[in-house]
Amino acid sequence: MSNNTQSSKAGLGGSESADTGLAKKNKRLIVRLFSIIAVMFCFGFALVPLYDVFCQVTGINGRNVVKSDAPSVLIDRTRTVRIQFTTSVAPGMPWQFKPMTKSIDVHPGENKVVKFSALNPTSSKVVGQAIPSVAPGLASLYLNKTECFCFNQQALDGGEQVEMGLVFFISTDIPKHIKTMTLSYTLFNVSESVAPAEIAAL
Amino acid sequence: MTTLSTADSHEHEHHDHKPKGLMRWILTTNHKDIGSLYLMFSFLMFLIGGAMAMVIRAELYQPGLQIVEPNFFNQMTTVHGLIMVFGAVMPAFTGLANWLIPMMIGAPDMALPRMNNWSFWILPMAFSILLSSLFMEGGGPNFGWTFYAPLSTTYSPDSTALFVFAIHIMGISSILGAINVVVTIINMRAPGMTYMKMPLFVWTWLITAFLLIAVMPVLAATVTMVLTDKYFGTSFFAAAGGGDPVLFQHIFWFFGHPEVYIMILPSFGIVSAIIPAFSRKKLFGYSSMVYATASIALLSFVVWAHHMFTTGMPVAAELFFMYCTMLISVPTGVKVFNWVATMWRGSLTFETPMLFAIAFIVLFTIGGFSGLMLAITPADFQYHDTYFVVAHFHYVLVTGAIFSIMAASYYWLPKWTGHMYDERLGKIHFWASVISVNVLFFPMHFLGLAGMPRRVPDYALQFADFNQLVSIGGFAFGLSQLIFLVVVIKCARGGEKAPAKPWEGAEGLEWDMPSPAPYHSHTTPPEIK
């Protein structure tokens, strides 16, 4: 340290042994600090899957609707839950998209079918993807879908109209304080991101 | 290396040898030169960002659209924020760190002088890129300094790539600066300078540097995701592809909240140096200051979602973030208490640095209180995205961070230039600033409580009177800062010769050196008492 006057120019490399010791110490510390930086950069990206897992477990963002293979067998007839349906289309999506049932009262465990109507008013084929969202978010943990048009992309030719079905039930363990829930679908135009061969197959 | 060093030691016989002219500044590896560059650059950015604030306040002087287009207005609010955060406040603190840390810990220079040169010189590049985007077709960034997706992805102008690269470069600059500070403080302390003997400015910067190292990479990751979402078809934040815009806010504020402490912790260090000097007493509760700073830094990692109370989080999460946020006021309260206790029964004098430091304590505390109000989740639903928030963060950043930088400049100017600054002009600058800044920001609280949203170029008629008052305060505050420019230029050019220790009560190794401080700091390690 005592002969460190040149360090402003010589940087890490000093001529004295004390300086070499310092250079080594500096290098070790720099390597450690840079590895923290690398880890934190990756952590930024790791937040993406972590967030998805966290939301799936806790149901907090209302996007993780439970996909159920089998319909429900137990029905709790002592109470009902009101399910409201609402739809919207994202900018760039020309379809008209409406729920055919605005609202429905169901018993927990009861299997229900509702339909949504979609019309492609343009003259060309458009592929759409519906993204669900449930409010309140925590209620999404108890909404089970056995069949849903949102599981797949939908393709409509110009002028074509379809009715799209949703089969669902509410789990019997839904907390008592959830009396109403809203299921909303936003329809996105994904034509551009789908390869032409795939469009033909849809 | 060996030959170079020998040649160098010969040159150092003439103590202040340095290259002349422009190349001195471009090639410099001297911590004082780089510190000065940082400080000058930061003041330039302060003026540019301030000019943008003047455009904003001129447009808001009256209801209706008078001067600028809404899109340009949005670019002004965005770039004003980016410049003040990344161009003015952060480089000013890095500049102070460069100047002061080696002198304070008894080191000859920063540990990594060449990297130091780079970490400064990439900054002008970053800001040229950012500012040039304003002149491009479609305009510069207009999505707010927080660049929430999808505003910054789906709806952003074509120049967004430039914004992203500018942020990358600023991030690299801060990271390199932070590494330099950490290595210097840990490895370059003079023998006997134990951690608990370090001045608080050094302590707070050490903690700040660790915060920078931890969160700037997360910011880099965020802007990279924005870049690929916008240009390369990924869907991190796009619901159509399975992403989530709320995720953006989580990642951004995971960086963003520690970032706001990055901009205030060095202030705590500055004020902890100035208050004892002009109270002629030792700082009250040194070790509690260190622990308080460390706990503020740790807590900053678990409060980010208090920026997002209205995104529809579950109640349990809102309560968690509310309580954690309120917890931060405990260590902050310890600090304010310690400063006041330091002044208690001290023999106070009120030179300009002390005036700014006292104004800092009072006004930063006001900003802290409005922060506490915002932390109350149900209340935040009303305050969210209103001028109340604008008032809050300007109190902590302008009368907090920037006032402390002003205080530091006045306090250490005699050491930097070798001349005393003009005390009368300094006092005029202080009083003009402290009055106008309150005319500027205090009525914003009322505007926000009455429901005026932030980031709007036009507003409802009932807000007209307060907005006019705010604008007048804004113009006055902007002009007052030119006095500071005059003071600094006058002081650099000449004036009364400054003694080694111009402040009677000042403590620290930097005051044992002559004024102006020699080109190379402690060439032999100083003796630590």
Residue range B217-239, pLDDT digits in tens = 999 999 999 999 999 988 899 87
> Low-confidence residues of chain B, pLDDT below 50?
1-14
DSSP states along A110-172? --EEEEEEEE--SSS-EEEEEEEEEESGGGGGGEEEEEEGGGS-EEE-TT-EEEEEEEEEE-T
- DSSP helix/strand/coil, B243: coil
Confidence label for A201 from pLDDT (cuts 50, 70 and 90): low
ipTM of predicted complex: 0.87
Dihedral of the alpha carbons of B306, B130, B452, B57, in degrees to the nearest 10: 140
The pLDDT score that the predictor gives to residue A200 is 57
Residue A202 has pLDDT above 80, yes or no: no
Half-sphere exposure of A50 (CA within 13 A, CB side): 8
The residues, ordered by sequence, that sit 6+ positions from B310 with a Cβ below 8 Å of its Cβ are B380, B381, B384, B385
Residues 128-157 of A with CB under 8 A from B: 129, 131, 135-138
- DSSP helix/strand/coil, B419: strand
Chains A & B: contacts with CB separation below 8 Å? 144
Interface probe with A: pick from B17, B212, B247, most Cβ of A within 10 Å = B247
Q: Which residue of B has its CA nearest to A130?
A: B240
List the structure tokens of B317: 């999460």
Name which residue leads in pLDDT, A8 or A88. A88
The pLDDT score that the predictor gives to residue B8 is 43
Q: Give kind and range of the element (H or E) at residue A182.
A: strand A180-189
Residues 39-78 of A with CB under 8 A from B: 40-45, 47-48, 51, 55, 58, 60-63
List the structure tokens of B383: 């305050």
Residue range B378-429, pLDDT digits in tens = 999 999 999 999 999 999 999 999 999 999 999 999 999 999 999 999 999 9
Q: Which residues of B have a catalytic role annotated?
A: 80, 109, 145, 173-174, 257, 259, 261, 272, 306-307, 332, 335, 454
Q: Which residues of A touch B250 (CB under 8 A)?
A: 47, 51
Q: Which residues of B touch A92 (CB under 8 A)?
A: none
Q: Give kind and range of the element (H or E) at residue A104.
A: strand A103-106
| Cβ pair B231, B161 in contact under 8 A | yes
The pLDDT score that the predictor gives to residue B143 is 95
How many angstroms separate the CA atoms of B342 and B284, rounded? 5
Answer yes or no: do A8 and B187 touch at CB < 8 A: no
Distance from CA of A46 to the nearest CA of B (A): 10
Q: Which residues of B touch A33 (CB under 8 A)?
A: 179, 182-183, 213
Closest partner CB to B221 (pick from A1, A45, A63): A45
Answer yes or no: do A41 and B314 touch at CB < 8 A: no
The pLDDT score that the predictor gives to residue B4 is 43
Tokens 């042994």 sit at which residue? Answer: A17
Sign, CA dihedral B281-B285-B287-B290, equals negative
Answer yes or no: do B114 and A11 touch at CB < 8 A: yes
Among residues B475, B389, B449, which one has the least CA distance to residue B144? B389
Distance from CA of A159 to the nearest CA of B (A): 23
The pLDDT score that the predictor gives to residue B53 is 97
> Where exactly are the structural domains of chain A?
1-58, 66-201
Whether B10 maps to a domain, the answer reads no
Q: What are the angstrom distances between the C-alpha of B259 and each of A69, B200, B374?
A: 46, 19, 18
Distance from CA of A114 to the nearest CA of B (A): 23
How many angstroms separate the CA atoms of B477 and B493, rounded? 25
The pLDDT score that the predictor gives to residue B188 is 93
DSSP, res B459:
-
Task: Please give the average per-residue pLDDT across A27-33, as a whole number.
Answer: 95
What residues are paired with A144 via a beta bridge?
A: A66, A169
Q: Give kind and range of the element (H or E) at residue A56.
A: helix A17-58
- Beta-carbon count within 10 A of B232 CB: 7
Query: Left (φ > 0), alpha (ψ -120 to 50) or beta: where does B209 sit?
Result: alpha
The pLDDT score that the predictor gives to residue A64 is 67
Which structural domain range is residue B241 located in?
Answer: 33-512
List the structure tokens of B102: 């080696």
How many angstroms separate the CA atoms of B119 and B75, rounded? 27
Amino acid present at B510: E
- DSSP helix/strand/coil, B130: helix
List the structure tokens of B360: 């800092």
What residues are paired with B88 via a beta bridge?
A: none
Whether B9 maps to a domain, the answer reads no
Strand order in the sheet with A103-106: A103-106, A81-89, A180-189, A126-135, A154-156
Q: Which residues of A touch B3 (CB under 8 A)?
A: none
Residue A187 has pLDDT above 50, yes or no: yes
Q: Give kind and range of the element (H or E) at residue A83.
A: strand A81-89
List the structure tokens of A64: 């993780």
The pLDDT score that the predictor gives to residue B256 is 96
Confidence label for A10 from pLDDT (cuts 50, 70 and 90): very low
Residue A7 has pLDDT above 70, yes or no: no
Q: Which residue of B has its CA nearest to A9?
A: B29
How many angstroms separate the CA atoms of A73 and A83, rounded? 20
> Which CATH number is A66-201's, of 2.40.160.10, 1.10.3720.10, 2.60.370.10, 3.40.190.10?
2.60.370.10
The residues, ordered by sequence, that sit 6+ positions from B458 with a Cβ below 8 Å of its Cβ are B63, B64, B65, B70
Whether B6 maps to a domain, the answer reads no
- Output Rg (C-alpha) for chain A, integer angstroms: 28
Residue range A35-69, pLDDT digits in tens = 999 999 999 999 999 988 888 777 776 666 677 77
- DSSP helix/strand/coil, B347: coil
DSSP, res A23:
H
Whether B304 maps to a domain, the answer reads yes
Whether B17 maps to a domain, the answer reads no
Among residues A39, A38, A45, A6, which one has the least CA distance to residue A22? A6
How many angstroms separate the CA atoms of B421 and B499, rounded? 12
Answer yes or no: do B247 and A188 touch at CB < 8 A: no
Tokens 């008592």 sit at which residue? Answer: A176
Among residues B338, B246, B248, which one has the least CA distance to residue B289? B338
Answer yes or no: do A47 and B247 touch at CB < 8 A: yes
The pLDDT score that the predictor gives to residue A8 is 41
DSSP states along B187-206? H-PPTT--GGGS-HHHHHHH
Pairing state of beta strands A180-189 and A81-89? parallel
Answer yes or no: do B240 and A9 touch at CB < 8 A: no
Answer yes or no: do A6 and B9 touch at CB < 8 A: yes
List the structure tokens of A69: 């293979």
The pLDDT score that the predictor gives to residue B380 is 96
The domain that contains B480 carries what CATH number?
1.20.210.10
Answer yes or no: do B221 and A41 touch at CB < 8 A: yes
Interface probe with B: pick from A2, A3, A5, A184, most Cβ of B within 10 Å = A5
Answer yes or no: do B5 and A129 touch at CB < 8 A: no
Whether B12 maps to a domain, the answer reads no
List the structure tokens of B490: 């006058």
Q: Which residues of A touch B175 (CB under 8 A)?
A: 37
DSSP, res B199:
-
Distance from CA of A166 to the nearest CA of B (A): 19
Residues in chain B: 529
What residues are paired with B386 via a beta bridge?
A: B453
Distance from CA of A68 to the nearest CA of B (A): 19
Residue A198 has pLDDT above 80, yes or no: no
How many angstroms separate the CA atoms of A131 and A93, rounded? 13
Beta strands in B242-289 (DSSP E): none
Distance from CA of A122 to the nearest CA of B (A): 21
The number of distinct structural domains making up chain B is 1
| Cβ pair B294, B328 in contact under 8 A | no
DSSP, res A92:
T
| Cβ pair A97, A116 in contact under 8 A | yes
Q: Which residues of B touch A29 (CB under 8 A)?
A: 182-183, 186-187
| Cβ pair B106, B526 in contact under 8 A | yes
Q: Which residue of A has its CA nearest to B318?
A: A60
